[in-house]
Amino acid sequence: MLSQLRSWRLRRTDRTSATNISDGYVDLPPSEQNALDIFSGEWSSQLPGNWKKLKAGTISLFDDSRIRWAADQLAGLTGQRVLELGPLEGGHTYMLEILGAESVIAVEANKKAYLKCLIIKEILDLKRCRFMLGDCIAFLRENQISFDACFASGILYHMREPSELIYLISKASNKVFLWTHFYDEKVIESKPNISSKFSATVNRNYKGFDHVLHRYEYGDALNWAGFCGGTAPYSYWMTRDAILDCLRFFGFKDLRIGFDEPDHPNGPCFCVAAVRSV
């Protein structure tokens, strides 16, 4: 009986191995679409220009007017060394390169997003960017490089300590671009699908900056294969005023605001291009 059980297990292992091996191979001619299909159904971005015909996502992150606006507000990117936090799928990285950045270091914590960025780097033949897999806060805590500009689009509201991110950015660069959601009680309470995700309010003091944080729970979004939020099941949102006050507290005195969308379906959001006094 024992020998029969061992034999059955061996046959089952052989079948499973054969199935797994075949799943890991592509039997089509090489193509850019094959690479994108590794993450089929998990892409957010639509590819740009001649690559639009490829099937990926639907959001125009490779042709984003917010990035062009930021480049203008920060006096251009030509010859600049740029730090990008949370590149997602490389859309903004691509734009930073074509807008003239001398180099882009892009730090991504999500393993799948990092691999997507590498696929994009190959398909779009990006030359002046380097994608790094790791946590941006951990990177900034150890960073010794001075960057000409920092781009952090869609990342602040995924932080558990957003004021720390702003502080660390202020140590790495005198110029920063943020696009972020923010907490507005009146607006959020009018949207049950968003308000239900907020669970608590806490007082915080970070390096002398007093502020209030609002806990946001990712909930069912954690079950999506393409999830690209923070590194914990929750994050903390700041109010619009708190974000601006925090930037000023850590030295960013010249603040320029754009793309203010209080009625955005995923919560109020805006852009800030800020320059730090030196």
What contacts 47, CB < 8 A, 6 or more positions away? 54, 56, 62, 120, 123, 124
Give per-residue pLDDT as tens, 141-169: 999 999 999 999 999 999 999 999 999 99
Element housing 234 (H / E): strand 234-237
For residue 246, the model assigns a pLDDT of 98
Domains of the chain and CATH, by start: 65-276 (3.40.50.150)
For 179-218, b/e burial (b = at least 16 CB within 10 A) is bbbbbbeebbeebeebeebbeeeeebebeebebebbbbeb
d(CA 269, CA 263): 8
pLDDT digits over 209-267, tens only?
999 999 999 876 556 455 566 567 799 999 999 999 999 999 999 999 999 999 999 99
Contact predicate 99/68, CB 8 Å: yes
Per-residue pLDDT at 5 = 44
**Mean pLDDT for the stretch of residues 90-108:** 98
pLDDT tens-place string over residues 201-217: 999 999 999 999 999 99
